[in-house]
Amino acid sequence: GENVEQHPSTLSVQEGDSAVIKCTYSDSASNYFPWYKQELGKGPQLIIDIRSNVGEKKDQRIAVTLNKTAKHFSLHITETQPEDSAVYFCAASNTPGTASKLTFGTGTRLQVTL
């Protein structure tokens, strides 16, 4: 089955700096790569996703890049703000047309300090 590794497990940045979280996946058939943000006591919420036919996607301060050859994808947050502090999860899906079978990374706890 699919295996997703995520690094780092914790990340501390100063407000205004950039944060980068990296994930690798094992199944070359995976074609959908979402990123979720989880705040304390809440369920994960999708912040951005990318499909295998796209190399980069940007939404305001958040961007995701995908390298299919290396089976690697990354989340980039620029101009970090205190409200970006949360746990971030990457995930991969290798089932076309089926969103249900996501394999998650182990999460990155991001802390943005003033």
Partner 1 sequence: NAGVTQTPKFQVLKTGQSMTLQCAQDMNHEYMSWYRQDPGMGLRLIHYSVGAGITDQGEVPNGYNVSRSTTEDFPLRLLSAAPSQTSVYFCASSYRDSSLRAPYEQYFGPGTRLTVT
Binding site for partner 1 (CB under 8 A): 1, 4, 6, 9, 31-32, 34, 36, 41-46, 49, 51, 89, 93, 95-107
At position 87, the amino acid (one-letter code) is: V
Choice between 14 and 42, CB closer to partner 1? 42
Smallest gap from Cβ 13 to partner 1, in A, equals 21
Rounded Cα distance between 17 and 2, Å, is 33
Alpha carbon separation from 51 to 93, 102, 104, 108, 113 (Å, rounded)? 10, 13, 16, 21, 32
Choice between 9 and 18, CB closer to partner 1? 9
Smallest gap from Cβ 17 to partner 1, in A, equals 25
Smallest gap from Cβ 83 to partner 1, in A, equals 19
Return the structure tokens found at 91.
């995930």
At position 82, the amino acid (one-letter code) is: P
